[in-house]
Structure 1
Amino acid sequence: MEQRLTDADRMTLKTGAFGAVFLVSNADPGVLAVIRESIAASGALADASGAIKEALTTGPLPLLPRDSQLEIESVVLPALRQAVLILRDKSPQDVDAYRAVVLDAADRVARAHGGVTSTEAAAIDQVRSALAEPA
């Protein structure tokens, strides 16, 4: 039985999704790249449906750290893990959809400006690991 996501649940899903995009974008920063990457991420996140779309498009945006890649990781990766647990508990049919949307957005961001760099690929690997089913 599906349970309704709370505001805190939705914020965790948003922090994970938007944070994953920011984590990959920040892995290889650049002024022009940011514009292309933002458009790419928006397209991927807009492709979400159902509970995932509702979570990502309602309420305030998450506040993400901006000082260092390590600080970003320390917020985003746990949020991704927690998002999977929330969905597994409250909306199990949406777990795979959330993973797919987040990984697609991260991949689109990496490809948006000149192809995927090694630092972007490493960030995507971190995102993929965080989204993996917990033991």
Structure 2
Amino acid sequence: MEQRLTEEERLILKTGAFGAVFLVSNVEPGMLAMIRESMAASGVMADASGVVREALTTGPLPKLPRDSTLEIESVVLPALTRALQILREKAPDELETYRSVVLAAVDRVAGADRGVAPAEAAMIDRIRTALAEPA
């Protein structure tokens, strides 16, 4: 049975998803690329359903550190892992939806401006690892 997520839990899901997009987008910064990439990601997130859609499309935007990629990763990658734990406990039917939405969003972001660069692919691999099932 699906349980309603708290505001804090929704923010964790949003931090993971938006943060993953932010990490991939910032691998190769540029204003025009950033606009294309954010539009690509927002379309994927808006197409989500259920608890995942509610978490990603309502409430405040997450506050991410801005100093370094490593600092951002230190917040985002654990948020992705925690988001999976939350969904496993409260909405197990939504687990794959979240994983799929995040991976589709980062794939679209990476491909939105001149294809996927090696550094973007490496970041996506780190995100995919954070979203992997525990052993």
Match of 1:83 in 2: 83
Partners of 1:118 and 1:30 lie apart in 2 by 17
Equivalent position amino acid for 1:86 in 2: I
Which aligned pairs between 1:104-123 and structure 2 lie closer than 5 A?
104-123=104-123
RMSD of aligned alpha carbons: 0.7
Deviation track 1:60-115 (CA, whole Å, cap 9, x = no partner) reads 01001111110110000000000000000100000000000000000000000000
TM-score (norm 1): 0.97
Identity of aligned residues (%): 70
Match of 1:56 in 2: 56
TM-score (norm 2): 0.97
Deviation track 1:26-48 (CA, whole Å, cap 9, x = no partner) reads 11111211011011111111110
Task: Detail structure 1 runs of 4+ shifted over 2 Å in the superposition.
Answer: none
Match of 1:45 in 2: 45
Unaligned runs of 5+ residues in structure 2 are none
Across the two proteins, how many residue pairs are aligned to each other? 135
Partners of 2:39 and 2:4 lie apart in 1 by 30
Paired residue secondary structure (1:74): helix
Matched, 1:21 2:21: yes
Partners of 2:89 and 2:31 lie apart in 1 by 40
Equivalent position amino acid for 2:127 in 1: V
Shift of 1:58: 1.1
Unaligned runs of 5+ residues in structure 1 are none
Match of 2:93 in 1: 93
Equivalent position amino acid for 2:44 in 1: A
Which aligned pairs between 1:69-80 and structure 2 lie closer than 5 A?
69-80=69-80
Equivalent position amino acid for 1:132 in 2: A
